[in-house]
Chain A
Amino acid sequence: AQSVTQLDSQVPVFEEAPVELRCNYSSSVSVYLFWYVQYPNQGLQLLLKYLSGSTLVKGINGFEAEFNKSQTSFHLRKPSVHISDTAEYFCAVTRGGGSQGNLIFGKGTKLSVKP
């Protein structure tokens, strides 16, 4: 079985500052890893995903994440945030090779970007 832990429920940050949203997972099998974002009153949107290959994954809106197998982490980073990045971010995992929709999500991190 897999599980996901997002270590911070809320992250306040000032505009143009860097941000890191932390995600750790546990699994006894190979996994696919995802970050999704939910803007207010919208559905979830895929930011980026790791399936295999390079451990540094670049996504939309300037976000990137690094898969660290030894630390079972998949932290999300952005070097300079904008007000428009204010949203809730979800880390998720699924069994490698399986459906990418049978996801196990973390509890979410609310990113609040202040001017």
Chain B
Amino acid sequence: EAGVTQFPSHSVIEKGQTVTLRCDPISGHDNLYWYRRVMGKEIKFLLHFVKESKQDESGMPNNRFLAERTGGTYSTLKVQPAELEDSGVYFCASSQIDGRINEKLFFGSGTQLSVL
């Protein structure tokens, strides 16, 4: 079974440019989460999709970030325009909807974003 995959693994862009990160969850997983870790700081929750709907986007930093999950399969996270403070590792995770107690998250290996 394929795991959670993220593309690209690394991205280097200049301030003001646009970058789109992609996450392919495990097939059949309705829950999809995005997180970010800025260097030296803790991993922070960004948002949660259930299928194609945004269940919780309380962690999104500002309106330069746009997450989509059309069709309830893969998800994209677009940063436009990118700023220096957006640099960090962006993680994606997915899980099945199998009751809150049994939920188990599977994480991708992340996208390292560097904004210069």
Contacts and interface: CB of A to CB of B under 8 A. Distances in A.
B105 A41 contact: no
Interface in B68-116: 91, 93, 95, 100-101, 103-110
Contact of A43 (B48, B58, B109): B109
B44 A105 contact: yes
Contacts of B104: 46, 100
Contacts of A97: 100
A42 B109 contact: yes
A51 B31 contact: no
A43 B103 contact: no
Given A43-B91, A44-B91, A51-B101, A101 B31 contact: yes
A101 B109 contact: no
A90 B105 contact: no
A100 B45 contact: no
A105 B109 contact: no
Interface string A93-110: 000011111111111100
A80 interface: no
B42 A100 contact: no
A105 B55 contact: no
A101 B100 contact: no
Contact of B100 (A4, A45, A99, A105): A99
A41 B4 CA distance: 14
Contact of B55 (A41, A99, A104, A108): A99
A100 B95 CA distance: 9
Interface of A: 4, 36, 41-46, 51, 90, 97-108
